Each structure stands twice: as structure tokens, then as C-alpha cells.
Structure 1
């Protein structure tokens, strides 16, 4: 589409690889700022204490509020120009909004078909219990060691597993964002996965109805991969794909 074409400077034409690395480093810097903001408060209380949660919420709110300014600075420094506004690049727009709410969440629920079936059979959690389930990150190791919640080796192995799981999940939500061009899809998928937690596969293996549950696990995974690209087709969301492409070709395009 002509109105979506990006004007690249001579610098980007000469060194697209440098712009790519600069973009990657910018993403890492923003992620480090996000995690680092959680530790600007000095406190002897555990991270689940209400006072600590309020402080961390404030830190995250500030960093999230400054993120658009960070993206704007990246765009100006790298000389990438788009006709679409900054909010559009951040995935905040009205085109395809309903699809962005429904389809990515539906796709994620398909992936969790086994755990959902298991939850429906057992109903072990109340709504409040489910809300308290959160994704774990590597920086939680500091809290676990600080309050002596387990051995060093046990905490490290747990962190490696949790980091691997959340890294895969991060790649998935990034894929959703790039394919749909909307922020709402990744947000809802993240909230849903927070609620579900990591699938209790060991419990499923010992369940009285394990054949049904394990079949649901398998069917959900197969159906997920079958629907991954069809349900994230950019035509459903009012945006071309990809969101941004940096190649050695002078004619490469960047869309919002």
C-alpha cells in the first residue's frame, strides 16, 4: 500500500544490519528498565506484600507510560519514518479491534484445551485463587534467595524451567503482535496464561479420567498449530504484515 510506505534514509540503506542490532538492543534496554524498576524500592518485605505490590505497580506504570516516548526516540534515532501515528505502531488502534480481542484469546484457549478440560472436571480453584497465579521470571530468584525459600540448586533449576517457559510465551505474544498489529491480543493472552499457570501435566497423568484429559492435551496442541496462522491472518485485523521489516533491500517496507 502506497500510503504505508516508509521513507528510508541513506544511512539505513547502507547499513540495515546496524539498524537491526540497534533495534534489538533498544528492546533489551526497555525490558531491563521494566524489570529494574521493580527493584528501585528498598524494602525488607517480600514481593507479595501489599505495600511492595503497590510500589511495584507504580514503577511499572511509570515505565509503561514512558514506553511510547522510548519508541518515538528509537524511531527518530534510526530514521524510520511511517505515515501511521505512533499509537498505531504500538498496536493501539480501532481497525480490527473486535477480532484482536476474540481471535488471539480463542487461539490461546485452544492450546490450553487439556488444562481447561482438567479444570472443568476438577474445579480446584476459586476465581480468587486463579487470579493469584502469576508467571514466574528469573528475577524472582533474588526474592527466593533473600527469604531462604528453597535451596540454591533447586531455585536455579526452577528458574531455568520458568525462564524457558516464559521465553517461549514471550515469543508467542510477540508473534501475535506482529501478525495482528494490535496490543490487545497479547495483553489478553498474557492475562489468560497468568490465570491458567503452567499445565499440570503430572496431575493429568494420574487423573482418573486421564485418557480424556491427555487426549484433550494432544488435540489442543494439534489444533493450535493448525489454527496458528489462519486465526492470526492480518486481513482479520485491518493491517498488513509484518509490522516492521529491516532487510538489505532499499525497497523494504515497514507497516503499522
Structure 2
């Protein structure tokens, strides 16, 4: 190692120690409480409107749009207040930390979504086999303005494909991860952040019980399954956010997964072409794990990603 290399190594080592030393006492408690308050604000905003109507009623959806969009618009204030209170020094701007930036935007739009589609290769093949339309018919529908007009006029479609992915990823990933990474490090934050996301979905239990949509045991089993699924999904989108440093990737993946739903494995097992479909299920999972690091390489998106600059121990997740 020459003198220049030793100098650079010493400089980076000194920077890391300086960053570690600048972490204030009680940071983790402040970060966790801030995330908890943010999660409660998001879920609480859904219930400020008193109504006897079910959650899928257009009037309920519209009112909830209003409250949840207000909370989401104010969510960066939580991050700013956390930053000011803890005294954390950040190089990137607040918007950059939240994944709102131009550098690496095109790869961030394309690659994470492609990776997620690879994971859903089996369900996509299953869907294509059962679809009554030909390929060209599907293209015609996609480019038809009337199709999109119908979608945009459907409150449930707007909720599931636009508002929920955008607001949930903004609140539960873009705002929470910058607060958790300095305390826990990127790897731990990836698995901590989804817990807030999973617990936030337990509010569906209240509505199911309220409208008696199933037995009590069935509702709670469904809630446990949903918590597990959303926690795993939340870890995946948190991984994408940290690796790419962009909000758009998690939002698009979230919207896509909402459209696809949980893979219908039982239906695939009963399908006349089940061997073909199951082969694509397995192929998709294998390819997903082979490609997950290469398709989310931070070099595509601007290295290092902003959120990774908040920790002195970035680890392999950030490189």
C-alpha cells in the first residue's frame, strides 16, 4: 500500500469514527418513538371520519384519501423534526434522504419493477394462460384512453394502485428508514421498518369484526397471515429503497404486488398445465435470488445512496 492509499484509508476511517461518535445518546429511542408516532398518525387518519359504511364504499375511500394524503404530505416534517432534535448531521438533502432525487432515476423506475416481475414469473404465466385476450388485444387495451379513464374513476383501483402504494412507501419507507438507519444500521433497519408496516395493517381487523365479515378466529388468522405477508413485503421494499436510494422503485413494486395479490398456488396446483406453471414459479424464485443484488447494485443509482451515508457501518447492503 502506497502513501496515498494509506492516507485515504486513514481519512475514511477517521470519517467513520467521527460519524459514530456524533450519534447522540438515546437516538434509537427517539427514532423508534418517531416511527411509532408516524405509523399511528397514518392509521389514525383513516378513522377520523365516522361512518357506518364499509371500507370499500366510494364515499369512505374518498374521505380517507383526504386524511391520508394530508398525513403523508406532513410526514417529511417528522423526519425534519427528528433530524433537528437528534442533531444528526446529514450530507444529502432531506428530499434525497427520502428517495426523491434525479440521479439514477431511470434505472430506479425500471430495474426494481423488473426484478419483482421475475419473482412473480409463475403467477404471470398462470395469468397469461388463463387470459382470454391475445397479446395484441392486451396491448390495445393498455393504450386505450377509455381503459385508463375507467381505472381512474374506480375508487378502489385508485386506492390499491396509486394512493396506498405512494403514501405507504412514503411514510413507512422513505420517512422511517432515514430515522432507523443511523440507529440500527441498514441491515437491521430493513427488518425493523416492516414491523411498523405490518402492525399498521392490523386495523383491518377492527373493520372485519365491526361488520362481522367472518368468524373471530378466522379474522385473526387472516390478520396474522396479512401481518406476515406485509412484513416480508415491507422488508423487500425497504431493501430496494436502501439499495437504490429512490422512492419510485418501492412505489411501483408495491402497486404491482397489489395488482397481482398473493400467488394463487392452490389454483396453480389444480390447473391442467400445473407442471408448466409450477416450473415457472420455481424458475422465477431462483432467478429472483440470483438477480436481487445485481439488479439493485447501488452503482446504477448513484453510489453511495443517500440513506447509506447516515451510518458508519454500511455493510454489504449499501455496496
Q: TM-score, normalised by structure 1?
A: 0.86
How far apart are the structure 1 equivalents of 2:22 and 2:99? 27
* 1:60 aligns to 2:68 (yes or no): yes
* 1:192 aligns to 2:256 (yes or no): yes
Match of 1:123 in 2: 131
| Structure with more of its chain in helix, by fraction | 2
How far apart are the structure 1 equivalents of 2:28 and 2:132? 47
How far apart are the structure 2 equivalents of 1:152 and 1:64? 32
Contact preservation (8 Å) 1:181, 1:239: no
The change in CA–CA distance for 1:131 and 1:43 in structure 2 (over 3 A counts) is closer
Contact preservation (8 Å) 1:177, 1:183: yes
Match of 1:239 in 2: 303
What aligned pairs does 1:218-237 form with structure 2 within 5 A after superposition?
218-237=282-301
Contact preservation (8 Å) 2:112, 2:296: yes
Match of 1:91 in 2: 99
How far apart are the structure 2 equivalents of 1:173 and 1:75? 23
How far apart are the structure 1 equivalents of 2:22 and 2:126? 55
The alpha-carbon deviation at position 252 of structure 1 amounts to 5.6
The change in CA–CA distance for 1:30 and 1:133 in structure 2 (over 3 A counts) is closer
The alpha-carbon deviation at position 141 of structure 1 amounts to 1.0
The alpha-carbon deviation at position 26 of structure 1 amounts to 1.7
The size of the alignment, in residue pairs, is 246
Match of 2:23 in 1: 12
* 1:205 aligns to 2:269 (yes or no): yes
Give unmatched runs, 5+ long, in structure 2: 1-7, 134-140, 142-146, 165-197
Deviations 1:32-60 (A, max 9, x none): 21111101111111111111101110111
* 1:145 aligns to 2:204 (yes or no): no
Contact preservation (8 Å) 1:8, 1:79: no
How big is the alpha-carbon RMSD for the aligned residues of Structure 1 and Structure 2?
Answer: 2.9
Once structures 1 and 2 are overlaid, which stretch shifts more, 126-135 or 235-244? Answer: 126-135
One of 52, 55, 60 as aligned partner of 1:47: 55
**Helix, strand or coil: the match of 2:53?**
coil
Contact preservation (8 Å) 1:179, 1:242: no
Match of 1:181 in 2: 245
The change in CA–CA distance for 1:183 and 1:133 in structure 2 (over 3 A counts) is closer
**Helix, strand or coil: the match of 1:74?**
helix
Q: TM-score, normalised by structure 2?
A: 0.70
The change in CA–CA distance for 1:243 and 1:148 in structure 2 (over 3 A counts) is same
Contact preservation (8 Å) 1:37, 1:56: yes
One of 67, 73, 77 as aligned partner of 2:85: 77
Contact preservation (8 Å) 1:41, 1:55: yes
The alpha-carbon deviation at position 72 of structure 1 amounts to 0.6
> Displaced runs of 4+ in structure 1, greater than 3 A?
5-11, 124-136, 244-247
How far apart are the structure 2 equivalents of 1:116 and 1:227? 18
**Helix, strand or coil: the match of 2:254?**
helix
How far apart are the structure 2 equivalents of 1:131 and 1:194? 10
